[in-house]
C-alpha cells in the first residue's frame, strides 16, 4: 500500500468512526436508560395521607385539572403518532422505498 492509499484508508476510517459515533448517540436517545437518566419516571400522584375526601367546593378545580391532564396526554399521543408518520416518510425518501428507484447522480451539464 502506498502512502496515499494508507492516508486515504486512515481518513475513511476516521470519517466512519465519527459517523458511527453519531449513530450510537442517536440509538442512545431511543433507550430507556437515556430517558430515565434525563427524565426520571414520574411517581403517580396520590393525595397526601390523612387529607380525607376532596371538599366539594374543590371538585370543579380537580375536574378541570383532570381534563387538562387528559388533553395533554392526547396531545402527546397525537404528537408521537405524527412524528412516527414523518419518520416513515423521511425513511422512504432516504431509501427511495415505495416507488421507482431514484437516480444516484444528476447530470446538470445539459
What are the tens digits of pLDDT across the range 18-37? Answer: 888 887 877 776 776 666 66
Indicate whether 49 belongs to any domain: no
Residue 67: give the domain boundaries: 59-95
Do 35 and 3 share a structural domain? yes
101 belongs to a structural domain: no
Residues 52, 53, 57: CA angle, nearest 5 degrees: 125
CA angle 31, 37, 38 (to 5 degrees): 95
The whole-number average pLDDT for the span 25-51 is 73
Which band of pLDDT confidence, cut at 50, 70 and 90, is reported for residue 47?
confident
Give me the helices (H) in the chain, please: 3-30, 32-38, 59-95
Residue 34 is assigned to a structural domain of this protein: yes
Count the domains in the chain.
Answer: 2
What is the reported pLDDT for 13? 84
Q: Does any domain span residue 74? A: yes
Amino acid at each position: 500500500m502506498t502512502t496515499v492509499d494508507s492516508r486515504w484508508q486512515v481518513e475513511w476510517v476516521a470519517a466512519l468512526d465519527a459517523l458511527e459515533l453519531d449513530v450510537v448517540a442517536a440509538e442512545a436517545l431511543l433507550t430507556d436508560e437515556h430517558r430515565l437518566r434525563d427524565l426520571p419516571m414520574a411517581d403517580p400522584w396520590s393525595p397526601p395521607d390523612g387529607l380525607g375526601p376532596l371538599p366539594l367546593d374543590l371538585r370543579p378545580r380537580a375536574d378541570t385539572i383532570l381534563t387538562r391532564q387528559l388533553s395533554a396526554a392526547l396531545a402527546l399521543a397525537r404528537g408521537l403518532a405524527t412524528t412516527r408518520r414523518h419518520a416513515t416518510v423521511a425513511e422512504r425518501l432516504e431509501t427511495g422505498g415505495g416507488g421507482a428507484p431514484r437516480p444516484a447522480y444528476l447530470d446538470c451539464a445539459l
